[in-house]
Amino acid sequence: MTAPVLRSKHRAFEGEVGFYSHASSEIGGEMRFSVFVPPQAAERPVPVLVYLAGLTCTEETFMTKAGALGHAAEFGLMLVAPDTSPRDRRYPGDDASWDFGLGAGFYLDATAAPWRDGYRMHAYVTRELPELIGRHFPARRSAMGIFGHSMGGHGALVAALRNPGLYRSVSAFAPIAAPSQCPWGQKAFGNYLGPDQAAWAEWDATALVEQGARCPELLIDQGEADQFLARELHPHLLEAACKAGGQPLTLRRHAGYDHGYYFISSFIADHIRHHAGTLNRG
Ligand SMILES: N[C@@H](CCC(=O)N[C@@H](CS)C(=O)NCC(=O)O)C(=O)O
Protein backbone atom coordinates (compact mmCIF):
# COMPACT_ATOMS: atom_id res chain seq x y z
CA MET A 1 0.00 0.00 0.00
CA THR A 2 1.60 3.27 -1.11
CA ALA A 3 0.97 6.65 0.53
CA PRO A 4 -1.74 8.81 -1.05
CA VAL A 5 -0.63 11.58 -3.40
CA LEU A 6 -2.31 14.94 -2.86
CA ARG A 7 -3.79 16.28 -6.11
CA SER A 8 -5.49 19.41 -4.75
CA LYS A 9 -6.65 20.85 -1.45
CA HIS A 10 -9.14 23.51 -0.49
CA ARG A 11 -9.94 25.28 2.78
CA ALA A 12 -13.58 24.77 3.75
CA PHE A 13 -15.46 25.53 7.01
CA GLU A 14 -12.15 26.00 8.85
CA GLY A 15 -11.19 22.48 7.80
CA GLU A 16 -9.81 21.20 4.50
CA VAL A 17 -10.98 19.11 1.54
CA GLY A 18 -8.25 17.13 -0.20
CA PHE A 19 -8.34 15.09 -3.39
CA TYR A 20 -5.94 12.17 -3.50
CA SER A 21 -4.78 9.28 -5.68
CA HIS A 22 -2.91 6.15 -4.63
CA ALA A 23 -1.89 2.74 -5.96
CA SER A 24 -4.52 0.29 -4.72
CA SER A 25 -3.55 -3.34 -4.20
CA GLU A 26 -7.19 -4.54 -4.15
CA ILE A 27 -8.05 -2.78 -7.41
CA GLY A 28 -4.68 -3.29 -9.06
CA GLY A 29 -4.22 0.29 -10.20
CA GLU A 30 -4.64 3.92 -9.25
CA MET A 31 -7.70 4.87 -7.22
CA ARG A 32 -8.91 8.33 -6.28
CA PHE A 33 -10.71 9.51 -3.18
CA SER A 34 -11.52 12.73 -1.33
CA VAL A 35 -11.27 13.56 2.37
CA PHE A 36 -12.75 16.42 4.39
CA VAL A 37 -10.73 16.93 7.58
CA PRO A 38 -12.77 18.98 10.09
CA PRO A 39 -11.13 21.66 12.27
CA GLN A 40 -11.38 19.46 15.40
CA ALA A 41 -8.73 17.15 13.91
CA ALA A 42 -6.08 19.74 14.80
CA GLU A 43 -6.68 18.79 18.45
CA ARG A 44 -7.46 15.06 18.38
CA PRO A 45 -8.24 12.15 16.05
CA VAL A 46 -11.83 12.37 14.77
CA PRO A 47 -14.44 9.77 13.73
CA VAL A 48 -14.60 8.77 10.06
CA LEU A 49 -17.78 8.85 7.96
CA VAL A 50 -17.44 7.14 4.56
CA TYR A 51 -19.77 8.15 1.70
CA LEU A 52 -20.38 5.93 -1.33
CA ALA A 53 -21.74 7.75 -4.39
CA GLY A 54 -24.07 6.49 -7.10
CA LEU A 55 -23.88 5.60 -10.78
CA THR A 56 -21.81 7.96 -12.96
CA CYS A 57 -20.35 9.79 -9.93
CA THR A 58 -16.72 10.26 -8.88
CA GLU A 59 -14.83 11.05 -5.67
CA GLU A 60 -15.72 14.69 -6.30
CA THR A 61 -19.53 14.55 -6.52
CA PHE A 62 -20.35 14.33 -2.83
CA MET A 63 -17.92 17.01 -1.70
CA THR A 64 -19.20 19.56 -4.22
CA LYS A 65 -22.95 18.82 -4.32
CA ALA A 66 -24.21 17.35 -1.03
CA GLY A 67 -23.73 20.37 1.25
CA ALA A 68 -22.21 18.11 3.91
CA LEU A 69 -19.00 19.93 4.82
CA GLY A 70 -20.39 22.56 7.18
CA HIS A 71 -22.32 19.93 9.12
CA ALA A 72 -19.30 17.63 9.32
CA ALA A 73 -17.25 20.60 10.59
CA GLU A 74 -19.89 21.33 13.23
CA PHE A 75 -19.90 17.75 14.52
CA GLY A 76 -16.19 17.05 14.03
CA LEU A 77 -16.51 14.20 11.54
CA MET A 78 -13.98 13.34 8.83
CA LEU A 79 -15.70 12.61 5.49
CA VAL A 80 -14.15 10.13 3.07
CA ALA A 81 -15.54 9.62 -0.45
CA PRO A 82 -13.97 7.08 -2.84
CA ASP A 83 -14.49 6.91 -6.58
CA THR A 84 -17.31 4.63 -7.76
CA SER A 85 -15.28 2.07 -9.74
CA PRO A 86 -11.80 1.17 -10.91
CA ARG A 87 -10.75 3.42 -13.82
CA ASP A 88 -7.00 2.93 -14.25
CA ARG A 89 -6.89 -0.57 -15.67
CA ARG A 90 -9.51 -0.91 -18.42
CA TYR A 91 -11.77 -3.89 -19.23
CA PRO A 92 -13.49 -4.65 -22.55
CA GLY A 93 -16.95 -3.06 -22.56
CA ASP A 94 -16.43 -1.09 -19.35
CA ASP A 95 -17.57 2.15 -21.01
CA ALA A 96 -20.36 0.74 -23.14
CA SER A 97 -23.09 2.01 -20.80
CA TRP A 98 -23.40 4.43 -17.88
CA ASP A 99 -24.93 1.87 -15.49
CA PHE A 100 -22.22 -0.78 -15.70
CA GLY A 101 -18.41 -0.79 -15.59
CA LEU A 102 -16.81 2.65 -15.21
CA GLY A 103 -18.63 4.66 -12.57
CA ALA A 104 -20.69 1.61 -11.65
CA GLY A 105 -18.61 -0.75 -9.52
CA PHE A 106 -21.57 -1.59 -7.25
CA TYR A 107 -19.25 -1.91 -4.21
CA LEU A 108 -18.96 -5.69 -4.53
CA ASP A 109 -16.08 -8.07 -5.16
CA ALA A 110 -16.60 -9.50 -8.65
CA THR A 111 -16.25 -13.25 -9.09
CA ALA A 112 -16.75 -13.53 -12.87
CA ALA A 113 -14.02 -12.98 -15.47
CA PRO A 114 -12.63 -10.53 -16.38
CA TRP A 115 -14.11 -8.24 -13.71
CA ARG A 116 -12.85 -10.31 -10.76
CA ASP A 117 -9.28 -9.16 -11.44
CA GLY A 118 -9.88 -5.62 -10.19
CA TYR A 119 -13.55 -4.86 -9.59
CA ARG A 120 -13.09 -5.37 -5.83
CA MET A 121 -14.78 -2.25 -4.52
CA HIS A 122 -16.11 -3.98 -1.38
CA ALA A 123 -12.65 -5.08 -0.27
CA TYR A 124 -11.34 -1.65 -1.22
CA VAL A 125 -13.96 0.28 0.74
CA THR A 126 -14.16 -1.96 3.82
CA ARG A 127 -10.47 -2.89 4.21
CA GLU A 128 -7.88 -1.04 2.12
CA LEU A 129 -9.33 2.47 2.29
CA PRO A 130 -9.92 2.48 6.11
CA GLU A 131 -6.39 1.16 6.60
CA LEU A 132 -5.00 3.94 4.39
CA ILE A 133 -7.08 6.61 6.13
CA GLY A 134 -6.05 5.32 9.56
CA ARG A 135 -2.40 5.47 8.62
CA HIS A 136 -2.26 8.85 6.88
CA PHE A 137 -5.04 11.01 8.39
CA PRO A 138 -5.98 12.08 11.96
CA ALA A 139 -8.73 9.45 12.14
CA ARG A 140 -10.21 7.60 15.10
CA ARG A 141 -10.57 4.29 13.30
CA SER A 142 -12.60 2.65 16.04
CA ALA A 143 -15.37 5.17 15.26
CA MET A 144 -16.37 4.65 11.62
CA GLY A 145 -19.76 5.13 9.95
CA ILE A 146 -20.88 4.65 6.36
CA PHE A 147 -23.60 6.08 4.12
CA GLY A 148 -24.28 6.62 0.46
CA HIS A 149 -26.68 7.28 -2.38
CA SER A 150 -28.45 4.94 -4.80
CA MET A 151 -25.84 2.32 -5.85
CA GLY A 152 -23.73 3.71 -3.00
CA GLY A 153 -26.61 3.70 -0.52
CA HIS A 154 -26.92 0.01 -1.20
CA GLY A 155 -23.15 -0.39 -1.01
CA ALA A 156 -23.23 1.16 2.46
CA LEU A 157 -25.97 -1.22 3.61
CA VAL A 158 -24.08 -4.25 2.30
CA ALA A 159 -20.76 -3.06 3.76
CA ALA A 160 -22.42 -2.85 7.19
CA LEU A 161 -24.46 -6.05 6.89
CA ARG A 162 -21.46 -8.13 5.77
CA ASN A 163 -19.04 -6.72 8.35
CA PRO A 164 -20.65 -6.74 11.80
CA GLY A 165 -18.90 -4.39 14.17
CA LEU A 166 -16.91 -2.53 11.50
CA TYR A 167 -19.33 0.41 11.26
CA ARG A 168 -21.02 2.00 14.24
CA SER A 169 -23.59 3.91 12.17
CA VAL A 170 -25.25 3.42 8.76
CA SER A 171 -27.63 5.40 6.56
CA ALA A 172 -28.65 5.75 2.92
CA PHE A 173 -30.32 8.09 0.44
CA ALA A 174 -32.56 6.38 -2.12
CA PRO A 175 -30.63 3.07 -2.09
CA ILE A 176 -31.07 0.37 -4.72
CA ALA A 177 -32.61 -1.65 -1.93
CA ALA A 178 -33.04 -5.04 -3.61
CA PRO A 179 -30.66 -5.17 -6.60
CA SER A 180 -31.40 -8.81 -7.48
CA GLN A 181 -34.93 -7.66 -8.30
CA CYS A 182 -34.30 -4.61 -10.53
CA PRO A 183 -32.72 -4.01 -13.96
CA TRP A 184 -29.66 -2.06 -12.70
CA GLY A 185 -28.81 -4.78 -10.20
CA GLN A 186 -29.54 -7.69 -12.51
CA LYS A 187 -27.26 -6.24 -15.18
CA ALA A 188 -24.45 -5.59 -12.69
CA PHE A 189 -24.74 -8.84 -10.76
CA GLY A 190 -25.14 -10.93 -13.91
CA ASN A 191 -21.86 -9.56 -15.22
CA TYR A 192 -19.81 -9.14 -12.03
CA LEU A 193 -21.05 -12.32 -10.29
CA GLY A 194 -22.25 -14.51 -13.17
CA PRO A 195 -25.65 -16.04 -13.87
CA ASP A 196 -26.04 -18.11 -10.66
CA GLN A 197 -28.55 -16.06 -8.70
CA ALA A 198 -27.82 -17.95 -5.47
CA ALA A 199 -24.50 -16.07 -5.35
CA TRP A 200 -26.26 -12.72 -5.79
CA ALA A 201 -27.90 -12.97 -2.37
CA GLU A 202 -24.55 -12.41 -0.66
CA TRP A 203 -24.40 -8.94 -2.23
CA ASP A 204 -28.07 -7.92 -1.93
CA ALA A 205 -29.05 -5.96 1.20
CA THR A 206 -32.64 -7.22 1.28
CA ALA A 207 -31.53 -10.84 0.82
CA LEU A 208 -28.84 -10.42 3.50
CA VAL A 209 -31.40 -9.14 6.01
CA GLU A 210 -33.71 -12.03 5.04
CA GLN A 211 -30.82 -14.42 5.74
CA GLY A 212 -30.33 -12.96 9.21
CA ALA A 213 -27.58 -10.35 8.72
CA ARG A 214 -27.93 -7.33 11.01
CA CYS A 215 -26.38 -3.86 11.26
CA PRO A 216 -26.76 -0.75 13.42
CA GLU A 217 -30.11 1.08 13.24
CA LEU A 218 -30.72 2.24 9.67
CA LEU A 219 -31.84 5.68 8.55
CA ILE A 220 -33.05 5.77 4.94
CA ASP A 221 -34.52 8.76 3.10
CA GLN A 222 -36.42 8.34 -0.15
CA GLY A 223 -37.99 10.94 -2.45
CA GLU A 224 -41.44 10.03 -3.71
CA ALA A 225 -40.87 11.87 -7.03
CA ASP A 226 -37.64 9.89 -7.60
CA GLN A 227 -37.57 8.94 -11.30
CA PHE A 228 -35.95 5.60 -10.45
CA LEU A 229 -38.16 4.65 -7.49
CA ALA A 230 -40.68 2.32 -9.12
CA ARG A 231 -38.32 0.52 -11.47
CA GLU A 232 -35.01 0.32 -9.62
CA LEU A 233 -35.10 1.11 -5.91
CA HIS A 234 -37.82 -1.03 -4.20
CA PRO A 235 -37.37 0.28 -0.63
CA HIS A 236 -40.59 -1.54 0.36
CA LEU A 237 -38.81 -4.89 -0.09
CA LEU A 238 -36.04 -3.92 2.34
CA GLU A 239 -38.64 -2.44 4.67
CA ALA A 240 -40.55 -5.74 4.73
CA ALA A 241 -37.36 -7.75 5.34
CA CYS A 242 -36.32 -5.46 8.20
CA LYS A 243 -39.77 -5.64 9.75
CA ALA A 244 -39.90 -9.44 9.52
CA GLY A 245 -36.40 -9.84 10.91
CA GLY A 246 -36.40 -7.16 13.58
CA GLN A 247 -33.67 -5.04 11.91
CA PRO A 248 -34.23 -1.48 13.17
CA LEU A 249 -35.04 0.87 10.25
CA THR A 250 -36.36 4.40 9.96
CA LEU A 251 -37.50 4.83 6.34
CA ARG A 252 -38.73 8.33 5.58
CA ARG A 253 -40.61 9.05 2.35
CA HIS A 254 -40.61 12.67 1.17
CA ALA A 255 -43.25 14.00 -1.25
CA GLY A 256 -41.94 15.87 -4.28
CA TYR A 257 -38.23 15.06 -4.02
CA ASP A 258 -36.41 13.43 -6.95
CA HIS A 259 -33.28 11.24 -7.07
CA GLY A 260 -30.59 13.89 -7.27
CA TYR A 261 -28.38 16.00 -5.04
CA TYR A 262 -31.07 18.65 -4.39
CA PHE A 263 -32.83 15.86 -2.48
CA ILE A 264 -29.64 14.70 -0.75
CA SER A 265 -28.64 18.22 0.29
CA SER A 266 -32.12 18.75 1.78
CA PHE A 267 -31.66 15.90 4.26
CA ILE A 268 -27.87 15.69 4.65
CA ALA A 269 -27.95 17.48 8.03
CA ASP A 270 -30.20 14.76 9.47
CA HIS A 271 -27.80 12.06 8.25
CA ILE A 272 -24.70 13.77 9.64
CA ARG A 273 -26.53 14.17 12.97
CA HIS A 274 -27.57 10.48 12.89
CA HIS A 275 -23.94 9.41 12.46
CA ALA A 276 -22.49 11.97 14.88
CA GLY A 277 -24.87 10.83 17.60
CA THR A 278 -23.22 7.42 17.57
CA LEU A 279 -19.69 8.19 16.42
CA ASN A 280 -19.06 11.00 18.89
CA ARG A 281 -20.20 8.86 21.81
CA GLY A 282 -17.41 7.21 23.78
N1 LIG B 1 -26.98 9.34 -16.37
C2 LIG B 1 -28.22 8.85 -15.81
C3 LIG B 1 -28.47 9.40 -14.47
C4 LIG B 1 -27.50 8.87 -13.49
C5 LIG B 1 -27.80 9.35 -12.12
O6 LIG B 1 -28.87 9.89 -11.82
N7 LIG B 1 -26.86 9.14 -11.24
C8 LIG B 1 -27.07 9.52 -9.88
C9 LIG B 1 -26.68 8.36 -9.01
S10 LIG B 1 -27.66 6.93 -9.40
C11 LIG B 1 -26.20 10.71 -9.53
O12 LIG B 1 -25.94 10.94 -8.36
N13 LIG B 1 -25.75 11.45 -10.54
C14 LIG B 1 -24.81 12.51 -10.35
C15 LIG B 1 -25.39 13.84 -10.03
O16 LIG B 1 -26.63 13.96 -9.86
O17 LIG B 1 -24.60 14.78 -9.88
C18 LIG B 1 -29.35 9.20 -16.73
O19 LIG B 1 -29.08 9.75 -17.78
O20 LIG B 1 -30.50 8.90 -16.38
Write out the DSSP string of 167-206. -SEEEEES----GGGSHHHHHHHHHHT-S-HHHHGGG-HH
Q: What is the pLDDT confidence band of residue 23, given thresholds at 50, 70 and 90?
A: very high
Q: What is the pLDDT confidence band of residue 37, given thresholds at 50, 70 and 90?
A: very high
Please name the amino acid found at residue 76.
G
Ligand 1 centroid to Cα of residue 103, in Å, is 10
Residues with CB under 6 A from ligand 1: 54-57, 61, 65, 98, 149-151, 259-261
CA 122, CA 110: separation in Å to the nearest integer?
9
Please confirm, yes or no, whether 171 is among the known catalytic residues.
no
pLDDT at 21: 98
Ligand 1 centroid to Cα of residue 259, in Å, is 8
Rounded to an integer, the average pLDDT of 24-37 is 98
Please confirm, yes or no, whether 226 is among the known catalytic residues.
yes
Task: State the chain's maximal CA–CA distance in angstroms.
Answer: 51
Q: Which position among 150, 169, 171, 180 bears the catalytic label?
A: 150
Please confirm, yes or no, whether 259 is among the known catalytic residues.
yes
* Nearest CA residue ID for atom 7, ligand 1: 55
pLDDT at 1: 66
Q: Which position among 71, 122, 154, 259 bears the catalytic label?
A: 259
Rounded to an integer, the average pLDDT of 56-64 is 98
ipTM over 0.95: no
* Nearest CA residue ID for atom 12, ligand 1: 54
CA 113, CA 242: separation in Å to the nearest integer?
33
Query: Do the Cβ atoms of 91 and 65 come closer than 8 Å?
Result: no
pLDDT at 91: 98
Rounded to an integer, the average pLDDT of 36-40 is 98
Q: Which atom of ligand 1 is nearest to the CA of 56?
A: 7
pLDDT in tens, 196-250: 999 999 999 999 999 999 999 999 999 999 999 999 999 999 999 999 999 999 9
pLDDT in tens, 150-207: 999 999 999 999 999 999 999 999 999 999 999 999 999 999 999 999 999 999 999 9
Count of H-run helices and E-run strands, the chain: 10, 9
Ligand 1 centroid to Cα of residue 59, in Å, is 14
Q: Which position among 83, 109, 204, 226 bears the catalytic label?
A: 226
Beta bridge partners of 81: 34
Q: Report the residue among 259, 261, 265, 266 best suited for mutation to probe ligand 1: largest number of ligand atoms under 8 A from its CB.
A: 259
| Alpha-carbon dihedral sign for residues 133, 200, 226, 247 | negative
- Indicate whether 145 pLDDT > 70: yes
pLDDT in tens, 65-117: 999 999 999 999 999 999 999 999 999 999 999 999 999 999 999 999 999 99
Q: What is the pLDDT confidence band of residue 2, given thresholds at 50, 70 and 90?
A: confident
